[in-house]
Structure 1
């Protein structure tokens, strides 16, 4: 096992690894059992450690050469995706792990990374039909649990694709790396660490991130800007509200202006992979908190919003557009000019990412899809962000492809259609065979 605890180091310690033969059939875990056991771990809120230890042990048992790394908060704070204050980045006891299978002459072949994340978003248990961390089969073909679609089933497909490749094509040259990373929902903590400072003693030629794409090829992912708006009014008794200054009309003016800018950007910011989306770069005000008492004019308001960023744009560019629109509103208001709002970044920023459809990994995936019965091989864009952006930024061509639907991600009764998981496993196996071949 290789242990790499702080990726900001310039020297790596690679202990000798005991050679091991592929295990016999009696030690092989089937993909259904693996997925069910993985789903039983509650990996919300940074609690991935137990699940990651389990994944590492399974990879070791299955004959992978295993690696582990933990992100350095100070290093991540230098990255544009993350808060500037290292204390705001939770990295403690959150290891990412990987398993490597080597084939033939590794120096003469390529290295393909198959990536998935172990963390999941919180659950609202009252809205679930069953325990979200007890995998439940709905009929024979649908598996329900938190993480079933996003994305423990996709990660399981990666593990068993690598195993199938070892059994079916041992004469290849190169490597397959299966990664289980942490903190994807918090900006990609594990993937950013691996992209910024390679935790392996070899280079990586391409990657597949097995997010739920409904078995479609995604070569572009959207970015997002997270902003917090704060407005200040003047409180007054409700019986004499005319002597106060409510923040609500001012907020509504800002909201309508941002909605209009969203519509303008839909018309002016174009990308061929996003033509089918009715709102390709959405603006969503996710939280609004205002006022202190029902009988008092509300004098304070805080709203948090997510603003879509198109491939080809930067977070900074889009931020400038929305700040300029807010400046126009302030200039038109005597009250806001005298009491200017604040409009600051918070949380995690996602840069957009795009991989050229002519990259070999994309071609290998498209050919594999055709060979395994998937006819729709046209590249698509996604309106969400993914860990793929970290690898693309590091110069590693990356495509997103996996089982399940984004419409199930983060939902109550999250479900994956199991035949898609089996299909993903088969297609990823064939992709790796063609890419290494």
Structure 2
């Protein structure tokens, strides 16, 4: 069966696969992979395993992960089989099929009815005069999934016509479409903790929207909720109450000062281009109960950046210490100390060396595809790559589209870039496989560690 990447991406974008609603999109991908000749696998998020994972809440239940289904397809090429032999290189191409919610009122069209158009003006992440796809998930990252499927098929075609130089034991290419990346990586974490395949994995490419630059370092994040207690009073006699808002402003100011200090003291060679390398954002604030009452309660949720090389625990300790300083200076807070507790999912940072074979293969693949900037860089966001890196699988981010389009109204991707991404990823697979035998002979390649 022929693969129409354009139709595949549009069809996949038609699924409203928000958190917990990924199963239908997963079934679509699994069926298409089977039709295209892939051996398919499927797995559900494992609540028991994830509850013991530092990224996830420890009270996860089966109901929390219901519908969080992930699928994959495997191509065994050039003599490879499913026996699990360590002499056969295996590369995983990973993408997530979940999307963040969309507010239809902010869009110029239905977010889940893909629209093809020609760009008329220059837009960050787009290209004037080229065809674009607009839909929720177009950039983040269903077009990346489509590019992975196309790249795997292109490698199969090269092998079949003898144009790919593979090791004697052949090559395995795995295409994964995983659930739950946006809220912690349910599918990828489960796959990393409990290998769903009868073979090990040597390296992975996660096709996040990187503007076709290889990303080797991903920032982590601490998600923490601050809660303050004051004392209510009638607005006509506010001096009888204890207003939480000035206290919150003092704490937030102290946190922003710490953001600035950390930007100067915590350095990394791949993050010099970012004006704020380790951002601190207070995303939600809820305070008070009535306009004519002094606000006596406040809850605020923070997302705090964690640099590669740090841990979430270390950064949490630094912000707790700064909070303690504010509390010590306020008699009311000393008597009524605020709480500052983790909530939701935590993202540990992840990083691999720029000279890892998968990074060198990605850079070579980009150059062969005519992409001008193939220098590795870092990202101020987290990704599923961290789960594979933690399992000992070197993983690089490389995909079409821009992160500036992610989670954005009228999310758009330039289709020409998707085609370039497909070519670059296919080139990277072939390069990785071709160099694999040489690395084994020289002793610089070793079997992938077991993650079962």
Band of TM-score, shorter chain: over 0.9
Give the 3-state SS of the residue equivalent to 1:100 in structure 2: strand
Residue in structure 1 matched with residue 102 of structure 2 by the alignment: 123
What's the offset of the Cα at 1:88? 8.9
Q: Distance in 1 between matches of 2:424 and 2:326?
A: 52
Pair 432,371 (structure 1): closer, same or farther in 2 beyond 3 Å? same
What's the offset of the Cα at 1:376? 1.1
Residue in structure 2 matched with residue 201 of structure 1 by the alignment: 198
Q: Does 1:227 align with 2:206?
A: no
TM-score norm. by structure 2 comes to 0.90
Residue in structure 2 matched with residue 341 of structure 1 by the alignment: 338
Q: Does 1:168 align with 2:179?
A: no
What's the offset of the Cα at 1:89? 7.3
The answer to whether the Cα contact below 8 Å between 1:83 and 1:89 also exists between their aligned partners in 2 is no
Q: Which residue, 111, 114, 139 being the options, matches 1:149?
A: 139
Q: Which residue, 295, 312, 317 being the options, matches 1:298?
A: 295
Residue in structure 2 matched with residue 10 of structure 1 by the alignment: none
The answer to whether the Cα contact below 8 Å between 2:263 and 2:278 also exists between their aligned partners in 1 is yes
Q: Distance in 2 between matches of 1:236 and 1:68?
A: 57
Q: Distance in 2 between matches of 1:48 and 1:69?
A: 12
For residues 329-380 of structure 1, the C-alpha deviation after alignment (integer angstroms, 9 at most, x for no partner) is 1111100000000000000000000011111110111111111101211110
Residue in structure 2 matched with residue 21 of structure 1 by the alignment: none
What's the offset of the Cα at 1:62? 0.1
Q: Does 1:265 align with 2:262?
A: yes
Q: Distance in 2 between matches of 1:63 and 1:380?
A: 35
Within 5 Å, which residues of 2 pair with 1:40-79?
Answer: 40-79=14-53
Residue in structure 2 matched with residue 436 of structure 1 by the alignment: 433
For residues 312-339 of structure 1, the C-alpha deviation after alignment (integer angstroms, 9 at most, x for no partner) is 0000000000000001111111000000
Q: Which residue, 96, 100, 107 being the options, matches 2:70?
A: 96
Give the 3-state SS of the residue equivalent to 1:272 in structure 2: coil
Residue in structure 1 matched with residue 124 of structure 2 by the alignment: none
**Residue range with higher mean Cα deviation, 184-193 or 134-143:** 134-143
Q: Distance in 2 between matches of 1:36 and 1:251?
A: 45
The answer to whether the Cα contact below 8 Å between 2:216 and 2:395 also exists between their aligned partners in 1 is yes
Aligned length: 411
Give the 3-state SS of the residue equivalent to 1:66 in structure 2: strand
The runs of 5 or more residues in structure 2 that have no matched partner are 119-129, 435-452
Q: Distance in 1 between matches of 2:214 and 2:204?
A: 13
Q: Distance in 2 between matches of 1:169 and 1:132?
A: 39
Q: Distance in 2 between matches of 1:281 and 1:158?
A: 30
What's the offset of the Cα at 1:91? 1.4
Q: Distance in 1 between matches of 2:359 and 2:229?
A: 51
Runs of 4+ in structure 1 over 4 Å off:
none
Q: Does 1:420 align with 2:417?
A: yes
Give the 3-state SS of the residue equivalent to 1:28 in structure 2: coil
Q: Distance in 2 between matches of 1:112 and 1:243?
A: 66
Q: Distance in 1 between matches of 2:145 and 2:64?
A: 23
Give the 3-state SS of the residue equivalent to 1:274 in structure 2: coil
The answer to whether the Cα contact below 8 Å between 2:3 and 2:150 also exists between their aligned partners in 1 is no
What's the offset of the Cα at 1:94? 2.0
Pair 264,89 (structure 1): closer, same or farther in 2 beyond 3 Å? farther
Residue in structure 1 matched with residue 59 of structure 2 by the alignment: 85
Give the 3-state SS of the residue equivalent to 2:270 in structure 1: helix
Q: Distance in 2 between matches of 1:149 and 1:71?
A: 24
Q: Does 1:286 align with 2:264?
A: no
Residue in structure 2 matched with residue 18 of structure 1 by the alignment: none
Q: Distance in 2 between matches of 1:88 and 1:321?
A: 34
Q: Distance in 1 between matches of 2:177 and 2:326?
A: 46
**Residue range with higher mean Cα deviation, 252-261 or 161-170:** 161-170
For residues 84-108 of structure 1, the C-alpha deviation after alignment (integer angstroms, 9 at most, x for no partner) is 1113972112211000000123343
Q: Does 1:243 align with 2:240?
A: yes
TM-score norm. by structure 1 comes to 0.93
For residues 154-201 of structure 1, the C-alpha deviation after alignment (integer angstroms, 9 at most, x for no partner) is 000000100011011235311000000000011000000000111100
Across the aligned residues of Structure 1 and Structure 2, the Cα RMSD in angstroms comes to 1.0
What's the offset of the Cα at 1:75? 1.0
